[in-house]
Amino acid sequence: MTKTILRALAGETLPVPPVWMMRQAGRYLPEYRATRAKAGDFLSLCYTPELAAEVTLQPIRRYGFDAAILFADILLLPQALGADLWFVTGEGPRLSTITTQAGLVALRGKDEIHETLAPVYETIRILTRELPRETTLIGFAGAPWTVATYMIAGRGTPDQAPAHALKTSDRATFVGLIDLLTEATIDYLSAQVEAGAEVIKLFDSWAGSLKGQDFDDFALAPAKRIIAELKRRHPGLPVIAFPREAGDRYVGFARATGADCVALDNSVSAEWAAEHVQKDGCVQGNLDPRLLVAGGEELVAETRRIAKAFSGGPHIFNLGHGITPDADPENVHIMLNALRGA
């Protein structure tokens, strides 16, 4: 029997939606924290295939999710392109900044990324051997706009102001960076598929700060280019796109980009998305991650409400964003029981 995630991505409406969670391998799990300590630091965990595979497998063993998503980070690609990358404990990633044409030219070409990223591909090969046969393996990358915001600012920012400023002040450098990231992302994701990834997800975490023509040019167009080329190289490959906080721009995004599924954040209601987005195919989402901290009857009620709202079409149950480190692992069981009718 075809895996449930693949059936939903192919447009099938299932009586119980398949389920996985963004950041399901993460700090809320004690077994993850133990493996992370063993690795020594976050990047060592990402680049040690045996340990990265282990943390990918941990939530599958604990919960039996229908999909595992490769454990890696969206900023490994800029590092492979030559940016310096490090993580500050308690604060997150830091990168050397790209704000000039000279800085852009100094980056490596897309053909030079694979040596750095080889451990990621090995992690995927391990997972293809060790995952249960019924579990789908998802590969991923950050979308060009989102990755560019980190490369331009050197860190995460609340409003992506440095990237917007460069887009205005030095359009050629900004567009050149987006183009390089688009082509490198295609090659990176294609290599993930060659290693064994069955589905690809494109995370555009900061898509919501792009408005009007900028959304078309820097969220929609790169996604369309990436998806078209991946499907040309790998016919039948399903792709999930996540233009987070796109609001009304979720409508028609699948049609415009060729994505097989649109992942939804929790700023839009499931009922609205069922009417306006699901008509074009599979949707993924969109439980508020905070409910996995709070738990209780609200978690059960919201899980059931979302599943009911999307029950008329293809749906993959997920969160509206990543599960947070303060979530209670027991609440994940409660969510799954509510979804699966246990």
pLDDT band at 178 (very low <50, low <70, confident <90, very high): very high
Indicate the CATH number for domain 71-263.
3.20.20.210
Radius of gyration of the chain (CA): 19
pLDDT band at 1 (very low <50, low <70, confident <90, very high): low
**Rounded Cα distance, 196 and 338, in Å:** 32
- Structural contact between residues 186 and 230, judged by C-beta atoms closer than 8 angstroms: yes
Catalytic residue annotation: 23, 27, 36, 73, 150
3-class SS of residue 73: coil
3-class SS of residue 52: helix
pLDDT band at 341 (very low <50, low <70, confident <90, very high): confident
Entry field: residues in the chain: 342
CATH 3.20.20.210 domain position(s) in the chain: 71-263
Phi, psi of 118 (to 5 degrees): -55, -40
pTM listed for this prediction: 0.98
Q: What is the pLDDT of residues 289-327, one digit of tens each?
A: 999 999 999 999 999 999 999 999 999 999 999 999 999
